[in-house]
Amino acid sequence: MHNAVCDVMRKWLRQQGRDLPLDAKDLKAQMKVRPYWILEPNGGLKQRFSGRNSETCWGIDVDKMPELGFNPVSDEVFTEKVIASTNESFDDPRKGDLFSLIDLLLPKPATGP
């Protein structure tokens, strides 16, 4: 799964004209000293993605990544965004760029009757 995340990140960065010169091992070494890193218990973290079997994964606390993850905003700013948007195009001001990757990994909601 770690390499799959690196592949998604590379694709996402390429679309922005940037590059990811790190592999999964390098990326983990840099991230595990950051406050947003969730320590892995014995056996590693496990998560089920898109209905597949549980996979070993890394944990990142997006609340501790204000530059890319969760961005706290005032109630006034949030309310203005909700009022100015339609249901189809709500741009949540609390979500940083990392949520683009998170959304790719989450299952898509069912539509239709």
Choose among 24, 55, 33, 36: nearest CA to 98. 36
Contact at 8 Å (CB) between 73 and 109?
A: no
- Residue-wise pLDDT tens digits, 45-78: 887 766 667 777 888 898 898 778 888 889 998 8
- Residue-wise pLDDT tens digits, 22-37: 778 888 888 889 999 9
Instruction: Give the pLDDT of residue 1.
Output: 54
Handedness of CA 42, 46, 24, 28 (dihedral sign): negative
- The DSSP string of 41-100 is PTT-EEEE-TT--EEEE-EE-GGG-TTTSB----HHHHHHHHHHS-GGG---TTB-THHH
Instruction: Give the pLDDT of residue 51.
Output: 67
pTM over 0.85: no
Quote the tokens at residue 108.
């898509």
If you average pLDDT over every residue of the chain, what do you get? 80
